[in-house]
Homo-oligomer: A and B are copies of this chain.
Amino acid sequence: MNTDQNIGVATTRKTFAILEVLKEEEGLTITEITQRTDLTKSTIYRHLKTLSEMGYVIERDDGFYIGLRLLEIGEKTRNREAGYTIAKRKVFELGQETDERALFFVEEDLDGVYLHRYGSLSETMIGKRRPLHSLASGKVILAAWDDDKVDQYIAEKGLTEYTSNTTTDPDSLYEELNHIREQGYAVNNEEYMDGLCGVSVPVYTPENELLGALGVFGPTSRFKDKYMRNELVDRLWDKAGEVKVTIAYG
């Protein structure tokens, strides 16, 4: 067993260190990237030239930018499953019909990731990662797992406290997940961010495998218990069912 970081290619790590910096802030110059990484000017220079020659990075007058060839690669993940594309449509419909923010959420490496979102003002949040135990959609995914995998999540990721409402105790989490399994949906009551509530349901494939979670979220002022548990949940179940049916019968 080899657990040290020495496996693999150090050069590739450097390349992605640069790309991650550009993801955070575009239009940086070489010397600005020097300050944000522990890489040398010549190293960054060489890497950026390589990347821009291949189109993964774009060089403009004011600095370097992420290239659209990386978008092309990344988008592959959103088209992997037929259900993902259908879910995209459902997210938009949800947003339009409820006039709230809506999302489709999947898990990767024990993180929750936004795959589709409706209702963002400036940023789409797509690809952003969130802790599963602190969001309605995340808890829906946890509830679909067996105890072993939930244990693994707790062990590897920990139940970090984001607000005073975050579930940080394993036993409480297990109890809550059982409850979610029974009722078929999850609610987030300001557990990740103060003032933000949400409700979410699981989306299954025709083979009854979990595809992801479909959810709606918004300000506490508007997201009262009755609103979420009656109006929104029913609509979410409908949409989740439509995804399943559309996968099966087009």
Report which of B7, B50, B71, B73 forms a contact with A13, defined as CB distance below 8 A: B50
Closest Cβ of chain B to A112, distance in Å, is 10
Is there contact, CB below 8 Å, between A127 and B72? yes
Closest Cβ of chain B to A88, distance in Å, is 8
Closest Cβ of chain B to A53, distance in Å, is 6
Give the residues in chain B near A20, CB-CB below 8 Å.
73
A contact patch SS: helix
A196 is an interface residue with CB less than 8 A from chain B: no
A208 is an interface residue with CB less than 8 A from chain B: no
Q: Which of A118-126, A138-146, A147-155, A181-189 contacts B (4 or more CB under 8 A)?
A: A118-126
Q: Which of A67-95 contact B (CB under 8 A)?
A: 67-80, 82, 85, 88, 92
User: Contacts A9-B15, A54-B13, A68-B113 hold; do A26 and B74 have CB atoms under 8 A apart?
Assistant: no
Is there contact, CB below 8 Å, between B26 and A75? no
Give the residues in chain B near A8, CB-CB below 8 Å.
46-47, 49-51, 53
